[in-house]
Each structure stands twice: as C-alpha cells, then as structure tokens.
Structure 1
Amino acid sequence: MKRLNLILLTLGILFQQQANACSIFTCSKNGQTLVGANEDEYTSFHYMWFVPATDNKYGAVFFGKNNMQTQAGMNEHGLFFDFAAIPRIESKNREVNFVTTAEILASCKNIEEALEMFKKYTFSAFSSQMLMADASGKSVLINADTIVHKTGDYQITTNFNVCNLQDNNYDCLRYDKIDNALAQTKDISVPFFREILDDVHQEGKVSTQYSNIYDLKNREIHINWFHNYNESIVIDLKEELEKGFRMENLWDLFNEKTFAAMNFQESEDSYYYHLIANEVEQKGVEAGIKMFEQFVNDHPDKAARIKEDFTWIPYSLIAKARVAYDNLSFDYYYIPFLTDYRMIWQSENKMLFQALKILEYIKSNNLNQNGFHFHEMVGYINMVLGKKEVSIKNYQKAIATVEKGSREEIRATKTLKKIKGTKFLPQADENLKYLKQTPPTTTPKVFAPDLISKKGEYEFGSVFNEKGTEFFYAVNVNGKEEIRCSELAASEWSKPKTIFSHELYGYNDPFLSTDEQRLYFISQRSMDGLTKKDDYDIWYANRTENGWSEPMNAGPNINTDADEYYISFTNDGTMYFSSNKNNGNFDIYISEMVDGEFQDPESLGEAINTSHYEADVFVAPDGSYLIFCATRPDGFGQGDFYISFKDTDGTWTKSRNMGDLVNSKGHELCPFVSKDGKFLFYTSNQDIYWVDAKIIGNYRN
C-alpha cells in the first residue's frame, strides 16, 4: 500500500506502548458532533494548557504531559485530534520532513485543510493511529498505512490497525462495545458518551487517567479524572483562551481524589520527577534541588531512578520556554525542540536560565551519564540565548561523543550547520547601548535630552530590555499618557514611535515581564476598551511577530476598584506593585506567579508601608533590594526615593531615604535599574534621569 506523505511526531513514536491503550470515537447525529476519549496511560501526571490565537495562528487547548508532550487537542474552530497506540507498522528508514499536530491545529480549521497540509509530509508515527474530527461532523483515521474517511455516523479507534477491519482481523472487546452502542442509538449526548467511556475504561498498570468528551460545535470539553464518572468539569474553550496562555494540572481541578487515583500516582516510577519539576517551577531551582536531595536521602532504594529522572527536568523547562516563544506545543516526547533544526529561535525566558542552573548542578555532582545529551542541551540553550560560539562549542563536544552516522550524530550535525549559517540577533554593542548616550557618573543627569527628555513634554516610566536593543517609556501628551518605543537596528536607534495610545484614556508605567514576552503597563481603559474608568488597572500585551497584542487585563487577583500603579518583577515572576485599595492610602504589594496565575497580593509590611504614600516600586531581579517613591515627613520634596534591602532572614530592612543625591524639592518617581545592573533610571522634574547604579551599594551599610 502506498505510504502517506505525512509525519506526525507523537507520543506513539517514542513510548511504543503496548497496544492496549486509549479508546477514541466520534459520532454525528441530530445536529451534534461529539468525540469521546479515554486516555489510558502508565503515568498519572497529566496537564491541560491553553494556547491563545495570534495574528497567524488559531487558539487551541492541548492535553498531555508536564514536558509539553501533546496527547490530544482541539482548536477554536472545533478541529480535534487524539492518538491510540497500535502494533508497529514496519517501514524502511528514510529522510523525512515533519509537522506536529500542534502546527495543524494552529493552521487549519477543518479536515479538508488538515489533509491538504498533510500532503507535504510523511507519516512516521509507526506505532500510533490518529483520529481527527471537525465541527462539521467529518472525521478520518490516519496511520502509516492509510487514511480512512468516516462513511457513516461514527468512527472508532482503539488499538489495532484500521486496515484490519476489512477482514475482521482484530480482537478488541472495547472496540466492539463502542461499535454496538453507537450503532444502536438514535441520539447522542454527553451523558451517553460518558456511559460508553465508563463501560470501556481500563484499570491496572495501564489505567484510564482521564476521560474527555468534546462538543466540537459548541467548543466545550467535559472532563472526568481517573475513571471517576461522578465528578466532571466543563471547559468553555472560547472563555478559557481569552484568559491567556496557562497550564493546569488536571489532578488539581478535581475535588474528589479516590483512593485508587492517589495510590496509582504514588506508586508510579516518575512520581518523584513530577514533584521535583513542580517545585522548580513554583519555588525555583534551589527549592527543587533541595527536594531532590531530600528524596535521594529518604529513598535510597529509589535513588538511582530519582537521579536519572532529575536530569530530564531541563528538557521540560526548555520545551515550555519554546511554547512561550511561539505558542506551539509539541507532540514528540523525546526532546522535540532538539530534533527541529528547521528553525533557530531566540529568547531569554527565565526557564532557560533555570535549565542551565540545573545542568550546572548535574555536572558538578557527576549526575550526568550521557555526555551527548548534556552538551546538546547546553548547546541548544546557548543557541536560544544568542550565544553562538558557546553553542557551537557544545554541539561539537556532543557530536564527538557519539558514533558517526547515528541518529544523534545526524541530528546534532544538522543543528550545528543551521547555527553556523544563522545570523543571530546581536547583543547591543556597548557604544550603541542606551541610545548612544554618554554614561553618567554618580551624579545624575538628564537622559537623552531633546531625543527622549524633551522640553514641553513629561516623560516617565522608562525600561530597557536585557539586550539593550529596546527602550520603552511613557509621555504625557496634552494631559493623556501614551507609551513609546525606540529600537536598535543596523547600529541605529529608531525614532521613538507610539505603540499604545487612545483618545479617551492613557497608557503609562511600562515594564517588561521577566521573559520579556509581555509588556505590562497601567491604564484607565475599561474592560471592553470603549470607555475610560475612574481608576487605573494593570494591563499587559503579549509580544507578537508584528509587535504587540491587544491589551489584556491582569485579572481580579491584581486589579480592584481602586488604583493599581507601577509594576516590576523578580526573576521568578513575582510582581511588585502599589495600590490604594486600603482606605485610599497607597501601599506596596507583591503577588506570586503560580501555574501561570497571579496569586492574591500581600502587603510588604511595616518595614516598607506606613500611613503615608508608598508607590512606584522597583525590585531587583534577584529580590535583594527595592527602591520606591514615598511621601514622608523626612522627605526633601513632593515625593522621594526610599530603599530597603532583603535581610539574611528573608525580611526587609527598615526603608531609608536615599538623600539629596537623587531626591529634590520636586517629585521623584518611576525607578528602574538596567538589567546589567549599571544604571538607575528615574523621573524627576518631568524628565528622565540616569545615574551610575554604584550609588545603591552606598546605602547597604
């Protein structure tokens, strides 16, 4: 039989699971199109993540593993896919191009468009069979042998090659049960599909971890956890995509945890890996390493497996950084980004630095057993960070450790060739940084006079990106604020251009997120953007290929009916900001980022907040100090800068006035220290000033 021009990198390629996992079926009757799917797996750690639409990609939800390995998904147009394991279809090794199902959902609305896209590729998921369906009721089964279109009301896949249906050469009770139920029914519904899923669910080493029912026309998903069909949650895809990118642990979404579910989770081999990975993401690398060392000490009989699993955590972090970069998930469990040498991408996402830190720990503690994988990861991360020479050096070391002609050698060689031939986005030359301005001494001076700080204008809220190639700031124009940006390109800084403004309300206090993929700011914009509010909220825009997305509100955990001002972040994504929600008095608050969501803010306490005005807070990326504006009796003018340092016990020292070196009779506000730690920027006398950041050390003692 003719091989298909399609390769889908899927979980089936690497796991090669026994052919007894997953039951998937779709049926269209009486104007409804539903899909039912039991995800039968060896592991109980499963996640759901939402990838919003961009200018050229459709939004979608995906289900899969912590490392972004995709098992199933549905996009905003109701195009769906899922996979079942089947016996391996033998094929000759050959050079192939590939496309991921994530790319298909990002690019296609229906089966016709997906099949047209498939024509360019080769299907090499030789141990998997995919069911794809759309909102019109059409569906197909695809494997490396064939494409089979649905001809009746329904279509099913379990764990045998669909080609075997032609002569009834299969033995699968689950398939027969589903077939019988769908053939006899005159109507379909979510409860009916749930009954079928319950009837064919599995228990044991391979258990039904979660069961999904997709309503393709209404873009809803009904989810049950660990074959408990008494408790369900319902996902409205449109509503969830509007909330932005985030990842949810399916386990956390359900209130009822059965004994069977808890016992299965605690007994699986990768249990400790997932706990450590979650600790790293929620509390940082140091906390994750501490947990890892504790597990090794407490469970000597499992220490070898815990150590091996720990070395895989950097892969998960890199994968998530990639998804944050271009909103595409992966289908391929085993380092998908490393096999994709089609594209060089650059980012400074904090998860890349976390991955490097873990790799340093792995090396220093002799945990690495595979020199190829270690150097390939280090090389790949440095490629993404724009450190071309370091990347090349590590790829060369990786290639030297494996046999010539091996899959690893071919992959790394192609990636190395791509890196060598790619012109990387440069770090700004020191002479070009800071808009080519002559750096200040420890005496403050106006920044970029007549270019940024202009007579007759009120500039404030300035921030540079880490590479020193972008500069954002706010300007008050005729009583209304707007945000402008200047960019370095071809050794020249562009003329500042307005990127956010509105005739009814303003935008100000710009600040970049830790990974620099979001620009945060404040605005009196209403939620629908049509009117002006009485108070300021914190908003953000996502970086896109063409600039920035439409503004999105930071949400009710942050914003209130009072004012929220000025934003800054630590490396772990914790937001520092100010609000006058406490009886109209401005204080400084922090909100931790957990699983992509800002948590309820907490006041910084009496060392920082008083009965007077405290606002416009800048926190050092490592959380070691903060500078903020306050109006207090010991001040020099309308508003002064105060500074506080993080003590050894984790508390803040009593804040102190920074004196007349930076404070004046006027109002000092909007502090920002450049990412290289060299300069303090701030606003005074309606202009932006800068000063050598060495002065900060003077206050530490």
Structure 2
Amino acid sequence: MKHIYLSITVLLLNVALSFISYSKESFPVLTQRYLGQSPPGLTPELFASDIVATTAHLESEVLFLPDMTELSFTRSGGKYKAPEWIVMQYRNNQWSKKPIPVTDIDDYKALFSPSLSVIKNIEPFKNIPIVGFDISSQGTYYFYVLDFKDGSGHMSYSRLIDGQYEVPKKMSTAVNKGKYIAHPFIAPDESYLMWDAEREGENTPDIYISFRKKDGSWGEAINMGEKINTPRYEQRPKVTPDGKYLFFWKGDVKIREDGSRYVVGSPHWVDAAIIETLRPKH
C-alpha cells in the first residue's frame, strides 16, 4: 500500500515542484457544463472519457472552482515526461484549455485547493504535521496526520469559536479506525464527512462516510458500497460545489514485464444522490 500511496502523493500533492509543460493539442469544443458529458446515475462512470480520463495516462482528481467555471486535473505518464497540470475554462458557452503562466501556477492552484501553508500558519496548528485538510462553511477544519511508513495516523477537527480556533480534537473511533486514514471531505453544513482508509482485511483503500447525529456526534463509518468501492484503490471523495455529483479517484498498480510497478487511474463521478441512499433512516 505504501508504494502506491507515496506515488500518488508525489503526483497529486507535490506536482507544483515539477516542470510544467503545455500540450499543443487543443480540446474539442464542448457546449455544456461538465465538459458536455451525459450525467451519471447511481453507478459511477469515468469522467469525460478520452478528454480527462484516458487509458494511456494517469489522471489525478478533478477540482472545480466554486463558481464551476473552471476545472483542473493533472496528467502524467505515456508521452508526458513530467506531470502536466491542466486547467479548463467554461467561457462563451464552451470549454477550452486555459494556459496558466508558469510564474502563476502556485497561486492559481490555491484557487482550486488551498495549500497546507494556509492551515499551518494558524494557531494552534503550527506544530502539527498535517498532511491534508478540508474546511466547512462554518470554518471548521477537518485534517489528518499520517505516517506513510506504516499507515498509522488519525483525523482531527478544530472549530472556529469567537474568532479563534480551538485546540484540535481527535475524532472518535467511528472515523479513526483502520490505517491510511486520509483525504477528508466535509459537507458544507457538516452533516456528513467522507474520507478514504484501509480497514481490517483490506489491502487497498475504500471510501467511507459518516453522518452527524442529532446530538452532534458522528455515526459509525459506512463503507460506500460495491458500486464505489472495488478491489482497486478508491480515494479522494469530493462533492461538486453545486452539490450535484460525487467525484472520486479510482486506480490500481500494474506490473511491467521487467517487474517494475506503475500506477494507473482516473477520476470517476456519480450522482450525489448516492449519499442519501446511505443515510441511516433512524
């Protein structure tokens, strides 16, 4: 597990350190939102096959700006000697590739996903080895620490109270169970939390969800089911800013003839209504 996790982490989290090149290939003209794709139902599908998701390359998760006018993802492998960060913009009723000057890459990436420096410069997070985080509309941070060697770690949260962040609190064992607990997505209203982790008997991560109870506590983690979770790697769940679709990354490890390993994978999407099918009825 640690080999693929480190590979994906290097690609997805540290790609800003890589040389950025821009392909001369143009994207096809697309006249509808979500790159003109037919919306999925309750069965996940590749997102924008042959436009974003390809069989020849490794694509990262897809991120949207809050107003849904731009999306970004990273592509590597195949002819891409270095990872390429790709931004697409919806303008004048069509999608097209948007070139970002190399000098603006870091700042522009922060529009899609704030860097760790945002949280690490805030008390009381400065001395915590945070690997990743998400934030609710109320300003509550949900973050995780992780030892990549053995998968140990946990998720914690900190609320904004009277303009100050409280001392972080570890989440209960309803969430902090298993190893490689990572990539939280908190609903804007904090009614549910999604993340990925390996549980007992698993050797690849699955995506889990916990719903907040009426008393404010978190319900036991629910595996999001065989439609989403397979023997492959499922990670990085995120609901689109408009609340319509759940995006996540699915991938695997392949073995070349010489015995070397490489990662394949692409973003998938599914109707966000799948979340409500998992909400406890009582």
Tell me the TM-score normalised to structure 1 length: 0.30
Counting only pairs closer than 5 Å after superposition, residues 415-430 of structure 1 correspond to structure 2 as: none
The separation in 1 between residues aligned to 2:152 and 2:83, in whole angstroms, is: 23
Which residue is equivalent to 2:173? 606
State the match for 2:97 in structure 1.
Answer: 495
Q: Tell me the CA shift for residue 654 of structure 1.
A: 0.5
Q: Is the 8 A contact 1:445 1:691 kept in 2?
A: yes
The partner residue of 1:616 within 142, 159, 183 is 183
Alignment of structure 1 residues 402-413 onto 2, 5 Å: none
User: Is 2:7 the counterpart of 1:441?
Assistant: no
- Give yes or no for contact 1:461–1:683 (8 Å, CA) kept in 2: yes
* CA–CA separation in structure 1 for the residues paired with 2:223 and 2:42: 17
Deviations 1:306-332 (CA, angstroms, capped at 9, x unpaired): xxxxxxxxxxxxxxxxxxxxxxxxxxx
Q: Does 1:643 align with 2:214?
A: no
Tell me which residue corresponds to 2:63.
463
Q: Deviations over 1:170-203 (max 9, x none)?
A: xxxxxxxxxxxxxxxxxxxxxxxxxxxxxxxxxx
Q: Any stretches of 5+ residues in structure 2 without a counterpart?
A: 1-30, 252-264
Which amino acid counterpart does residue 269 of structure 2 have in structure 1?
A: W
Structure 1 residue 690 displacement after superposition: 0.3
Counterparts in 2 of 1:584 and 1:666: CA distance versus 1, 3 Å: closer
Flag the 1:697–1:554 CA change in 2: closer, same or farther, 3 A: same
Distance 1:458 1:496 in 2: 20
What is the 5 A alignment of 1:301-700? 432-476=32-76, 483-495=85-97, 497=99, 518-522=111-115, 538-539=116-117, 554-555=121-122, 557-558=124-125, 560=127, 562=129, 564-565=131-132, 567-580=133-146, 585-593=152-160, 599-635=166-202, 638-685=204-251, 686-700=265-279
Greater relative CO, 1 or 2 (CA 8 Å, sep 6+): 2
Instruction: Give distance in 1, aligned partners of 2:233 and 2:127.
Output: 26
Amino acid aligned to 1:632: R
Residue identity in the other structure for 1:520: S
Contact 1:563 1:581 in 2 (8 A): no
Q: Contact 1:562–1:581 at 8 Å: present in 2 too?
A: no
In structure 2, what is the Cα distance between the partners aligned to 1:647 and 1:620?
14
Listed as ranges, the matches of 1:42-61 within 5 Å are: none
Per-residue CA deviations over 1:135-171 (Å, capped at 9, x if unaligned) read: xxxxxxxxxxxxxxxxxxxxxxxxxxxxxxxxxxxxx
Q: 1:651 to 1:519 in 2, by over 3 A?
A: same
Cα shift at 1:568:
2.3
- Deviation of the 1:462 alpha carbon: 2.3
Percentage identity across aligned positions? Answer: 29
Bigger helix share: 1
Q: Secondary structure at the match of 1:659?
A: coil
Which residues in structure 2 correspond to 1:1-80 (within 5 Å)? none
The 1:655–1:601 alpha-carbon spacing in structure 2 relative to 1, beyond 3 Å, is same
Deviations 1:328-348 (A, max 9, x none): xxxxxxxxxxxxxxxxxxxxx
Q: Which residue pairs with 1:34 in the alignment?
A: none
**1:190-205 residue pairs with structure 2 within 5 A?**
none
Give the residue type in structure 2 aligned to 1:454: T
Rounded to whole Å, the distance in 1 between the matches of 2:72 and 2:45 is 19
Q: Secondary structure at the match of 2:41?
A: coil
Is there any run of 5+ residues in structure 1 with no aligned partner, and where?
A: 1-430, 513-517, 523-537, 541-551
Displacement of 1:482 in angstroms is: 6.0
CA distance in 1 between partners of 2:103 and 2:82 (Å): 9
The alignment's TM-score, normalised by the length of structure 2, stands at 0.70
- Residue identity in the other structure for 2:197: A
Q: Give the match's secondary structure for 2:276.
A: helix
Give the residue type in structure 2 aligned to 1:664. T
Alpha-carbon displacement from aligned partner over 1:437-456 (angstroms, at most 9, x marks no partner): 11111111111122222333
| Deviation, structure 1 residue 555 | 4.6
How far the C-alpha of 1:619 sits from its partner, in A, is 1.0
The aligned amino acid for 2:117 is: W
- Tell me if the contact between 1:485 and 1:499 (Cα under 8 Å) persists in the aligned partners: no
Q: Distance in 1 between matches of 2:184 and 2:103?
A: 24
Q: 1:497 to 1:670 in 2, by over 3 A?
A: farther
| Higher strand fraction (1 or 2) | 2
Structure 1 contact 629–669 (Cα < 8 Å) conserved: yes
Give the conservation status (yes or no) of the 8 Å contact 1:571–1:621. yes
- Does structure 1 conserve the Cα–Cα contact (< 8 Å) formed by 2:151 and 2:180? no
Q: Deviations over 1:183-225 (max 9, x none)?
A: xxxxxxxxxxxxxxxxxxxxxxxxxxxxxxxxxxxxxxxxxxx
One-letter code aligned to 1:699:
L
User: Secondary structure in 2 aligned to 1:668?
Assistant: strand
Aligned residues: 232
